[in-house]
Structures are given as C-alpha cells and as structure tokens.
Structure 1
Amino acid sequence: MAVWAAMNSEQGRTPTFLTRVRVENYRSIASCDVRLGPLTILAGPNAAGKSNFLDAIRFVRDALASSPGQALDPRGGLEEVLHRHVSGRRADSFRITLDLSLPASERPPFNATYILEIGTQPGSNDFAPVLRREEFQVEGRAQGEGFLPEMAGAHPVAWRDDILLSHTPRSHHEGRVVHWSLQQTRFYELLTPVLRAVDDTPRKTGSGMLGEKGEQLARVLDTLSRQSPWVKDTLDGYLSTMIDNAAGLDGVEVPEADLAYVVGRFRGADGQVAKVDRRALSEGTLRLAGVLAALFQPNALNGDIPLVAIEEPEVSLHPPVLGALYDALAAAARNTQVMVTTQSADLLDNAAAAPAHLLVVRDDGAGTALGPIDPAGRRLLTEGILTLPELLRSGELRPAAAPTGQSEQQEDDER
C-alpha cells in the first residue's frame, strides 16, 4: 500500500472535481446546498434520498449526452422527477447547479459553474420538459449569450429541449473541457449477473471503462494485469483481505472469440492456489471485484474519469471486513473524486473514516435533508461519547440545519 500512496502523491492532481452541488425540487429533495471533497460518504437509512442526490448529478450528464427529455424518459418523465411538497403542491421546475474545479491540459486550472433548470412551459397543462435556464460561468463570469435561453423581459421565450453547452464551439476551451469532463463521470449500481456474465463486447468498440452495471469487468482486470500489474496486485490484496481464502480475481481474454470472462483464485486447505469458475464465485466476491475495478480502473487512475460514484459498495460483504473497504475508497480518492452511498455503520469502522468525509442524509417526512453532521452529533464525537459507527447505529446521525434564507430559485421566481 505504501507504493500505491507514493504513486498517487507524485501525480499531484487535485481530485475534487465537484466542489459544491445545489439541487432544488428534484425528486425527494426540495433544496440542498453541499460542499464536497475528494471522498464523500452519503450516509443514512434506506429511502432517505441518497440515490436521488447522485441521480441529480447523473441527470446533468445524461442530458448533456442527449437532451433533457431523453434523460427524463427512463426516470418516468418530468412529472415523476419534480418534487412534491408536504402540502401536496408539485414544483413546476427543478434546478441543478454544479461548481467544478478543472485542470485544463496545457492551461492553468480553472473553476466553473454550470446551472441547468428544467421544467414545464408556463401556461401549459402538460409535463413536456423545456429548458427554463442554462448558464455557464468561468471564474464567476457568465460565458456569452449562447449559453442562455433567449429572453423577453424576465422570462424565456425560446422554449427548447436541447442543451446549449453540448454545442460549445471549438474555440471555447473551458466549455469543451467542462462538457467532456461531465460526460466522463461514472455512477455505478453493480449487478451480480452482469459481473458474472461472459463479456462478448468487441474489444475494438469497447470504451475501456467498467460499465455502470459491471459490464467489461473481465477486460478491465485483464488490462490492469498487463499495463499496471502493481495496481492489479493492490486489488488482489484487498480481495484477499476481505474474502476468505481469496488470492485474487482475473480477467481471461479469448482473442479468437473476442470475449472475456472472470476467474477466481482461491487457496485450498493445503495452501495451494486453485482457479474457481466464474459461475461458482460468490456474490460478495464479484461485487467487491466490481467495486475495486470501478475505483482503480485505468481511466480513473489517469484522470480521465473525474468522478466515481458507487451505490452501497458494502452490499453482500461480511460486516467485519468493511473497514478495509474504507481503506480502498480513501486510496482511490487520491486519483479521482469518490462518492458512495451507505447505510452501513460497519463501513465507518475504520480509523480513516472522518466526520469531514460524511454527508448525512435523512428524510423525516418533509423530504430529503442533506448536510454535514449536526452540532449535537459532532459534540458526541468530540467528547468521545459515541464513535462514528455508533452514531449511525443509534439513529442520532443527523444533518446540520440548512442556512436560513431564500433559495436561489425562490429569489429568481420573485424577481
């Protein structure tokens, strides 16, 4: 592990891609404004809204790849995404604001803000989505009229369902960097059948990245073995620490058939290592391999993936070994920004688990609230009354109250 840390420190990158996220009226989230670091653990009970927060960021990526309407289709449409307040009133638009820190090749790093608001067309009775607002800023300065809807007075009149940032001219370096970087973010919801399956994706057409359900696991493992064997050894080290008798998991390529599959290596009672067929591998082994591959895949190591988000990486793993998984998350966060959701106190049972890494997520009936640990929880930690895992188990882990005052969208609406 010491070699691994040295390799990361020499690269000198700052992996905090998303520094601040503001979400308004998206699914269960009425409003949130949070700051992020290289490693963020979204901790809270089931159905609190952790996945909705990640999905808000993923929506921006998906909308940039196609259009807001196409991005909303698999989410059930605009009506399903708009937040419904406790009063029963449904919002007529949602807004996502991303603050980003970007290293631009051959140029100094820069900070940018991207604002995307999607909603219904005023006066319309349907839920056909339109672009209500789009704005791109670099170092606090708005970047040209081309990024804003056409206005008549205070209201947009050029209703449209496509994203202007996607059409950034080649001459606008920062716009192209932001667009490309958001497209490279990855959001993982790993599925065991996909991880176990034979990968018949033609190598020449493959992206080289782990698919968001676990596609191409075998090819990623094989690439690491050939190109970065010390990284592959690190992955196998984590596997052997967390899975009984495991020695590693490999990707096997069959060039003549252009397919690949995974195979396990396990130590028997005699100490000899034997191969285990993919069909006999446990769900925990496959899911852990998928998590590690997502964190340490080549494109994450070289900076081409600026953000790796993983839903509940602890699923199917034995609680006593989850502390070691935190070590892997922290190590990966030296190369790329890492965000994970969890409801497991055992994941936090590690000396590296810091309150600063946590965003607490709760829904006490009025919608999702997100924030750092509240003052009462911090006092319990500071005074040594409870540890971080005990705080989560006890149900006393709560988000700090959001700052009072109007939201950005409320202010704009009143104007």
Structure 2
Amino acid sequence: MHLRVTEVEAHNFRSFEQIRVDLDPLTVLVGQNASGKSNLLDVLRFTSESLRKGLDSAISLRRGISAIRRWSAKGRPYDVTVRVILKSDEASASYSFTVGSKRRTEFEVKNEACSITHRGQDLQYEIRNGTWVAAPEDLKKIPLARAALALPIVAAVKPFGLVYNALTGMRFYTIYPNVLREPQPPGVPYPLEEHGSNLASVLREMQRTGNQWLPDLRAVLKRIVPDIGDFGVRQIGGYFVVMLVHEMDTANRERAFFDLSQESDGTLRILGLLTALYQDPPPTLISIEEPELTVHPGVIGVLADVLKETAKRSQVLITTHSPDLMDCVPVTSIRVVERVKGVTRIGPVNKEQIGAVEDRLFTPGDILRLEGLQRGEE
C-alpha cells in the first residue's frame, strides 16, 4: 500500500495564515463559497506539481509567487511553507518546504526537509538556503539550485522515492461536460486529465487492457443511468468518439448508439467521475470538487458508495455543498471550512454536533440545513 497523507500544514498560502488538517482515507470539505475549500486542495496540488513539473512551472501556473502567498498589508512579504505527513503500514514520512521572495517576481527555496522511516531504516535530509544541512553522505554530492526542490533528484535514493511517488501520484479533477462532449484527439491513456480532455483515450485503454474495475464502472453507470448498457470508443478520422449504448427495448434487445454530444450534462459528468475513480493504476490521491453537480439527488447514495469504495485503494478528498452526500459519509470524515476575518480555518465537526449524529437525533445534512455545521478543535 502506498503512503497516504494523514496531515497537511500550510503557512501563508493564499487564505491560510496557519492551518493543520488531519486527512482520512475519505475526507469531505464543507463550507460556504469562498471559505477556502479549494485552497486546501491547491496546497496538495501545488506540492504535487512542484515536484512533478518543477517549482517554477507550478508557481507560473498560479500567476506568480505573489498570487500564492498570503496578502500582507505592509512590511516584508510572507514566506510560504507547506508540510505533509504521510503513513502506510510499512512506513511513515514527512516532507516540507518553504518558498520566499527574492524580488518582485523571483523566488527561492529557503528550506526543504524530508524524513522517512521504512522497514526499520531511518533516513532524512534538510536543506537551508541552498546548502545541505543534514543528509546521507552520498546526497551531499548533489549540487543544489536555489529555485528548485531537491526531492525529484533525491527520489532515486530509496526509500525517498516512496515519498516522491506518493506526492506526484495525486490527481485533481473538475470535470466539465462540454470538454467531454467534443470529439477528442488521441491523448495519453493514463492518467485522466483534470477536465477529462483525454476521456476517450483513457476509456479506450481501459477496454484494450481489460482494466480490473471496468465491470464495476459499467455496473455503476447503469445504476445511475439505467438505460445505458455499455460504452465504446470509435475512431473517426483523427479523433476518438465515445459512444454510449442505450437499451431502447430490453424485451426485443433493441439498442441505440449515441455519441457524447447527444448526452446530458449529468450523464457526461458521471462518466467522467467514474473514469477518474476507476482508472488503473489507482492514483495515490483523487481530489474532486463538488462531485454532486448535475447529478440527480436520488443517485447521490450510489456516488457516495463509489467514493467510499475508491477510498480503499486511493485516498479521496472532495468538496461539497450537498446535504444528501454528507448524509452518506461518516460525520467524522467531514471537515468544516470557515473564513474568519479574511483567514481560513479548518477543523472537524464540533463534538456536540457529532454527538447528535451518533445518537441518531440528526444527520449531518439535517444539521447543515438547520444551523450549519460548526467547526470544532483544529
């Protein structure tokens, strides 16, 4: 089993002054609009992209270091710090880094540290201001760049690679139906891209290789949209087109094939979400913003079952505004996100409300509607 993120800390990242959040195999973020839910997802995404694409690329994608660090009214700009704790049955690890400004648009890595305990072996390294402070002797020979993280290079030394693989194996999704509706040029067959722009290529590869979860994908799709019996991918010219097989008359076994341009937003989004959740190999973490969008409330329970099942092989982190979805997950997996005087605070549901749910007086959705979920101790 790969390392799972059990704790995230962030200092001066966007709306976070200082936060520490415990994460479960399935964690559900709940809060008002603009409370900072997406910012927590972006802490992990920024970490993953900084390692996978490079720190400069990750910062540029966010329009510069000034758009990432918390706003300061006067004085010196804040340094941004991220720390992640990871655990598995065989290992425990931590990884952190601090990025500061040099000039207006320039930045530097002020500190980076990683430690891991794996099968009785303890390894760690720390870098301050471009200099090795602590590390195995063979690592100290590696030259350092002040504007880049070292873990992508250090990952070649076992078991630091376990940390690198866990953090770069995360995937973040906001599925857009309009992206799925158009014919798609051949793309990478894995992983599914953020908005589903390579859905056809991923589904085609899943069918070609006999993905072990393909029968589950088909079965769940049929539970949510009962007249869909199957799907296929056709190549038309230089494009891939996903076709859904609709069972028009089960008695006479009449079927009709429709490409995605003829399907509803809800059907498209469900297909995209299920593809993200059933792709193989499983990402180390799957993040989805508001999976309930365009989904009929009557099948939210089915979607919740898939999320919980997926959490057995991939860590799952979602945001939601749906009381129905909240009712389908353990109340202890919910984190309440609030904005207090311009700063985001995150914590579990408070003890009184957890007690009311455990005593079966109310559901989390009931409490959300009646008084709102309240944040407890962070």
- TM-score, normalising length: structure 1: 0.79
Q: Identify the residue that residue 261 of structure 1 maps to in structure 2.
A: 241
Q: Does 1:95 align with 2:81?
A: yes
Contact 2:189 2:198 (C-alpha < 8 Å) held by counterparts:
no
Report Cα offsets for 1:18-41 as digits up to 9, x if no partner. 111111111112221122121111
Counterparts of 1:15-414 in structure 2, within 5 Å, are 17-84=4-71, 91-101=77-87, 109-121=90-102, 124=103, 126-139=104-117, 143-144=124-125, 147-150=127-130, 160-168=146-154, 170=156, 172-201=157-186, 206-228=188-210, 231-243=213-225, 245-248=226-229, 250-254=231-235, 257=237, 259-268=239-248, 272-300=254-282, 305-350=283-328, 353-402=329-378
Q: Aligned pair in 2 of structure 1 residues 68, 366: CA closer, same or farther (>3 Å)?
A: same
Q: In structure 1, the residue corresponding to 2:9 is in which secondary structure?
A: strand
Query: Partners in 2 of 1:183 and 1:28 — Cα distance?
Result: 24
Displacement after TM superposition at 1:80 (Å)? 1.4
Q: Which has the higher strand share?
A: 2
Q: In structure 1, the residue corresponding to 2:186 is in which secondary structure?
A: coil
Q: Aligned pair in 2 of structure 1 residues 164, 269: CA closer, same or farther (>3 Å)?
A: same
Q: In structure 2, the residue corresponding to 1:328 is in which secondary structure?
A: helix
- The number of equivalent residue pairs is 363
Unaligned 5+ runs, structure 2: 134-143
Query: Partners in 2 of 1:16 and 1:176 — Cα distance?
Result: 11
Report Cα offsets for 1:293-345 as digits up to 9, x if no partner. 10111121xxxx21111111111112222121100101111111111111111
Contact 1:309 1:340 (C-alpha < 8 Å) held by counterparts:
yes
Displacement after TM superposition at 1:370 (Å)? 1.1
Query: Partners in 2 of 1:327 and 1:377 — Cα distance?
Result: 23
| Pairwise CA RMSD | 2.7
Contact 1:113 1:138 (C-alpha < 8 Å) held by counterparts:
yes
Q: In structure 2, the residue corresponding to 1:370 is in which secondary structure?
A: strand
Contact 1:217 1:251 (C-alpha < 8 Å) held by counterparts:
no
Q: In structure 2, the residue corresponding to 1:138 is in which secondary structure?
A: strand
Displacement after TM superposition at 1:49 (Å)? 0.9
Q: In structure 1, the residue corresponding to 2:51 is in which secondary structure?
A: helix
Q: Identify the residue that residue 138 of structure 2 maps to in structure 1.
A: none
Unaligned 5+ runs, structure 1: 1-12, 104-108, 403-415
Query: Partners in 1 of 2:239 and 2:312 — Cα distance?
Result: 32
Q: Aligned pair in 2 of structure 1 residues 142, 96: CA closer, same or farther (>3 Å)?
A: farther
* Larger displacement relative to structure 2 (290-299 or 391-400): 391-400
Report Cα offsets for 1:361-409 as digits up to 9, x if no partner. 122444211111112322332343321111222342122133xxxxxxx
Contact 1:377 1:396 (C-alpha < 8 Å) held by counterparts:
no
Letter of the structure 2 residue corresponding to residue 346 of structure 1: D
Q: Identify the residue that residue 9 of structure 1 maps to in structure 2.
A: none
Query: Partners in 2 of 1:239 and 1:89 — Cα distance?
Result: 55
Q: Aligned pair in 2 of structure 1 residues 76, 249: CA closer, same or farther (>3 Å)?
A: farther
Query: Partners in 2 of 1:88 and 1:269 — Cα distance?
Result: 69
Letter of the structure 1 residue corresponding to residue 233 of structure 2: V
Displacement after TM superposition at 1:69 (Å)? 2.8
Contact 2:249 2:255 (C-alpha < 8 Å) held by counterparts:
no
Query: Partners in 2 of 1:207 and 1:201 — Cα distance?
Result: 8
Q: Aligned pair in 2 of structure 1 residues 159, 199: CA closer, same or farther (>3 Å)?
A: closer
Letter of the structure 1 residue corresponding to residue 94 of structure 2: T
Q: Aligned pair in 2 of structure 1 residues 135, 313: CA closer, same or farther (>3 Å)?
A: same
Query: Partners in 1 of 2:274 and 2:76 — Cα distance?
Result: 40
Query: Partners in 2 of 1:168 and 1:215 — Cα distance?
Result: 32
* Larger displacement relative to structure 2 (47-56 or 219-228): 219-228
* Larger displacement relative to structure 2 (376-385 or 33-42): 376-385
Displacement after TM superposition at 1:160 (Å)? 1.6
Q: Aligned pair in 2 of structure 1 residues 184, 270: CA closer, same or farther (>3 Å)?
A: closer
Contact 1:251 1:260 (C-alpha < 8 Å) held by counterparts:
no
Query: Partners in 1 of 2:108 and 2:212 — Cα distance?
Result: 49
Letter of the structure 1 residue corresponding to residue 228 of structure 2: A
Query: Partners in 2 of 1:152 and 1:176 — Cα distance?
Result: 19
Letter of the structure 2 residue corresponding to residue 252 of structure 1: V
Query: Partners in 2 of 1:265 and 1:37 — Cα distance?
Result: 37
Q: Identify the residue that residue 140 of structure 2 maps to in structure 1.
A: none
Displacement after TM superposition at 1:269 (Å)? 6.2
Letter of the structure 2 residue corresponding to residue 163 of structure 1: L
Contact 1:83 1:90 (C-alpha < 8 Å) held by counterparts:
no
Q: Aligned pair in 2 of structure 1 residues 234, 133: CA closer, same or farther (>3 Å)?
A: same
Displacement after TM superposition at 1:176 (Å)? 2.3
Q: Aligned pair in 2 of structure 1 residues 229, 358: CA closer, same or farther (>3 Å)?
A: same
